[in-house]
Amino acid sequence: MTMLPQEIIRRKRNGERLEAADITGFVRGLSDGSISEGQVAAFAMAIWFSGMSRDETVALTLAMRDSGETLDWSSIGRPIVDKHSTGGVGDNVSLMLAPIVAACGLAVPMISGRGLGHTGGTLDKLESIPGYDIQPSAALFRKTVDEVGCAIIGQTANLAPADKRLYAIRDVTATVDSVPLITASILSKKLAAGLQSLVLDVKLGNGSFMGDAGEAEALARSLVDVANGAGVRTSALLTDMNEPLADAAGNALEIRNCVAFLKGEKSGTRLETVVMAFAAEMLVAAGVAVDPVAGEALARTALANGAALERFARMVYALGGPADFVERPEQHLAPAPVILPVEAERDGYLQSCRTRDLGMAVIALGGGRTHPNDRIDHRVGFAELKPLGTRVAEDEPIAFVHAADETAAEHARQELLALYTIADAQPEVRSPILSRIT
């Protein structure tokens, strides 16, 4: 007997456990429109208040995965892997990670997103590259993954369409921050992409969506448990987002940063630590490396011998970008009209950064959206950001503003100065990798 939508809502509102068949039926109605927007909103709010068990969240995730197309990569003959980040500032890990592990023999069909709130979006960054197609045909996507080993593109309309409707309703009903709903939203799209293994970057700190350590760990645990329950080998790293991860924040600036990284110019940075840790996780999960030490050694070889840079160049060209992009990025990435140094106002150590506000400052420069249809200025942002713990002298630049005009540049300069605290004592510098969850 089919249960009425309002009965499913009532049971979840009252804290009862739902059967997988009830959840599947509700998601089917969500997809075909037979369940009203009001009922979907009530269902989301009931979950927000009452939560879901692991088995319920697995059922919700699988039902949303199966609401549309699922990809099959069995013909490729290489391990199918991916990575997802909960979002941060200067977090361009995916851009380097995908070609590094592709050069080590993995296949990475990476479905990425646009900027959300204060966080930058991988797709917005890639659209800095002239001609790069974030929505290629299914045939071109498959051909690129097969021949290059990686392709970073946007979600297609046929991939987990139930999530698209549910997310839109969550966004306007204050139910975005529900761990079961976040888990199902992220994983339904990743599972629809046909993955065999997945690594998750769950951010913690003042530049993340999860500022509380307990909340971040609960989300990471939910994602890992549900993904493994759905048959995809998954682990998560909790990483620090109390300062920008790269030394650049802004779309074209982070693409420049990516090319420099793949050329070996960012060794010893927090960014390198995070990229290598995730490369090692992916290679171990795929069975290519026996342990993280061996995985990192493989990744470092692919970076040092130029194989990872070559994969990135081939991916860009395959998806419509310039053939000589990595040789001449400056010719293809439009520069900002105004570049202004942000000079320290006193001697001392960079002690803290209001990272979320730095992300918002990039948006204020035009590097992100305040409305869904806003056009992005890919040229703007901050570059050469010095890491926390750095000793600076008065009038020494701690960063450079890239802006569309003098007024915007000066405003951003003053704002950035206010976001950093300079102190006499050197702060403790800790690893950006906080913990691992399996």
Structure tokens at 33: 């429109």
Is 83 among the catalytic positions?
A: yes
Pick from 250, 251, 249: nearest CA to 127: 251
Element (H, E) at 27: helix 20-32
Contact 79, 106 (CB under 8 A): yes
Q: Tell me which DSSP letter residue 365 carries.
A: I
**Of residues 24, 31, 57, 85, which has the active-site annotation?**
85
Which residue ranges make up each domain of the chain? 5-51, 81-318, 335-423
Q: What is the pLDDT of residue 372?
A: 61
Q: What is the pLDDT of residue 5?
A: 93
* φ/ψ bin of 425: left (φ > 0), alpha (ψ from -120 to 50), beta (otherwise): beta
Is 185 among the catalytic positions?
A: yes
Mean pLDDT by 10 residues, the chain (438 residues): 85 96 95 93 96 95 94 92 90 96 96 68 92 94 96 85 88 84 91 93 85 86 93 94 95 97 96 97 96 98 98 98 97 96 97 94 87 83 98 98 97 97 94 93
Give the start-end residues of each E strand in 131-219: 150-154, 197-204
pTM here?
Answer: 0.89
Does the domain at residues 5-51 carry the CATH identifier 1.20.970.10? yes
What burial class does residue 70 get, using C-beta atoms within 10 Å of its C-beta: 0-12 exposed, 13-18 middle, 19+ buried?
A: middle
Structure tokens at 111: 């479905």
- From first CA to last CA, the distance across the chain in angstroms is 38
Its CATH architecture, for the domain 335-423, is Alpha-Beta Complex (3.90)
**Of residues 185, 222, 235, 355, which has the active-site annotation?**
185
Q: What is the pLDDT of residue 117?
A: 59
Q: Tell me which DSSP letter residue 80 carries.
A: B
**Of residues 122, 178, 188, 355, which has the active-site annotation?**
122
- Length in residues, the chain: 438
Structure tokens at 237: 């790293």
**Helix, strand, coil % over all residues of the chain, rounded to 5:** 45, 15, 40
Task: Give the sign of the dihedral formed by CA 169, CA 174, CA 176, CA 178.
Answer: negative
Is 85 among the catalytic positions?
A: yes
Pick from 221, 242, 220: nearest CA to 359: 242
Q: Which amino acid is at 364?
A: A
Contact 90, 385 (CB under 8 A): yes
Structure tokens at 259: 């090319």
Q: What is the pLDDT of residue 212?
A: 80
Cβ-based neighbour number of residue 268 at 10 Å: 7
Is 114 among the catalytic positions?
A: no
**Of residues 65, 114, 190, 332, which has the active-site annotation?**
190
Is 122 among the catalytic positions?
A: yes
**Of residues 22, 65, 66, 82, which has the active-site annotation?**
82
Residue-wise pLDDT for 144-199, tens only, equals 999 999 999 987 778 889 998 998 888 778 887 889 999 999 899 889 989 999 99
Which residues touch 179 (CB under 8 Å, ≥6 apart)? 51, 218, 219, 222
Is 170 among the catalytic positions?
A: yes
Q: Helix H segments across 193-328? A: 213-229, 251-262, 270-285, 292-304, 307-318
Strand order through the sheet with 197-204: 81-85, 197-204, 233-240, 433-437
Q: What angle do CA 216, 274, 156 make, to 5 degrees?
A: 70
**Of residues 12, 31, 65, 83, which has the active-site annotation?**
83
Class of 81-318 in CATH? alpha beta
**Of residues 65, 114, 189, 266, which has the active-site annotation?**
189
Contact 341, 397 (CB under 8 A): yes
**Of residues 12, 65, 118, 170, which has the active-site annotation?**
170
Q: What is the pLDDT of residue 208?
A: 82
Pick from 268, 252, 281: nearest CA to 129: 252
Q: What is the pLDDT of residue 238?
A: 95
